[in-house]
Homo-oligomer: A and B are copies of this chain.
């Protein structure tokens, strides 16, 4: 039929590498990130998907007026590759012709083509769509994407299945007031604080399951380490013999991820000057002993026997690094009072739980542990906490109809990224951060 035509599959993408093409004409596209006028010529830095190319406009040689270009114009260009030992890449691109595909309507409020962006932290957040264009800012998220790839690849090798669980839920998993509420066709709904219930349920289905997705916390904290929406890297595994298996899995995952970054993101690691941590075996210390160690070594009084202060986490990180060389440390056996109702208590010592946090460079980046799988035990613990098991009917189907012994963890992707890149504020590791003041961009 004449009305029908056909769409062919896209051709494969070819990574552009110009080094070895000296003397040849090449075509490329990108955004003009900087123009530096000299006498009779100008440097035109072009930001492509991969890197920034040093192009040169020359009077009488380039077949168009320099005025055609401005910062953040998107262009297609033809250029001749010229070896240039003074250029960082060892070559430059001599512009022959340019086609402007799209031009900005307004001048930038600040330059994004320089090494560092010269504006306030608040402005950096307000102008996120622009700030992210800077090669150095962009690299943060190329590394984050690479991390996710590594996590997935490792988990899939280990037999985990990816799940997509609902974010609109009828009950929060973590309890407390830190939950967003909304109307769902006349009923009260919440935004999931984690995929906790669903990933537990799915250990009865897939045995091993993971999800990388958004989680929501209505916490009123306004600190450098809290976000109200963040990306949770969650996994859960059935048929475990104890919670140490979960820590072993995380150790393997982190080791794999660090090697993966080294192999696949060398350019971005260099651009951000990232110091990758060594992941050999990871030291572990019990919560109460950690508290005492910190108190003894740093001559501090223990104010709260049931939780860490941020300063204590930092000091513990420092102490462990000095003693063992590791920038990671597992803290185990957190007090039951501080853990959710699904946490398994330590046999013979119900005051503490079969649980752990992972600290990385002095900050908690993971919480995990073994969960209760026995129905009677779970119902009893819920009642002890004043919860109504009836409200958790579909979650408790897991336990009622037979759950394998299981446990898992949640890792905050932005926090982990921030620690890895030694960014001061977790907001710098979120493309479009959400905090109590910020719902845009």
Residue of chain B at shortest CB distance from A134 = B205
Asked if A310 lies at the interface with its beta carbon under 8 angstroms from chain B, I say no
Asked if A54 lies at the interface with its beta carbon under 8 angstroms from chain B, I say no
Q: Say whether B248 contacts A431, CB under 8 Å.
A: no
Contacting residues of chain A (117-174) with chain B, CB-CB under 8 angstroms? 126-130, 132-133, 138, 141-142, 144-145, 148-149, 152, 156-159, 161-170
Given A398-B129, A401-B72, A434-B168: A283 touches B439 (CB 8 Å cut-off): no
Contacting residues of chain A (34-67) with chain B, CB-CB under 8 angstroms? 48-49
Given A10-B248, A252-B9: A3 touches B290 (CB 8 Å cut-off): yes
Give Cα distance in the complex from A165 to B208, angstroms.
26
Q: What chain B residues lie within 8 Å of A204 (beta carbons)?
A: 31, 129, 132-133
Question: What is the total number of residues of chain A having a CB less than 8 Å from a CB of chain B?
Answer: 132
Give Cα distance in the complex from A163 to B106, angstroms.
27
Given A133-B205, A395-B441: A102 touches B405 (CB 8 Å cut-off): yes
Asked if A96 lies at the interface with its beta carbon under 8 angstroms from chain B, I say no
Q: Say whether A397 contacts B202, CB under 8 Å.
A: no
Asked if A22 lies at the interface with its beta carbon under 8 angstroms from chain B, I say no
Chain A positions 377 through 418: 1 when the CB is less than 8 Å from some CB of chain B, otherwise 0: 000000000000000011101111111110000000100000
Q: What chain B residues lie within 8 Å of A15 (beta carbons)?
A: 159
CB distance from A203 to the nearest CB of B (A): 10
Q: What chain B residues lie within 8 Å of A320 (beta carbons)?
A: 4
Q: Say whether A166 contacts B432, CB under 8 Å.
A: yes
CB distance from A124 to the nearest CB of B (A): 13
Q: Say whether B185 contacts A436, CB under 8 Å.
A: yes
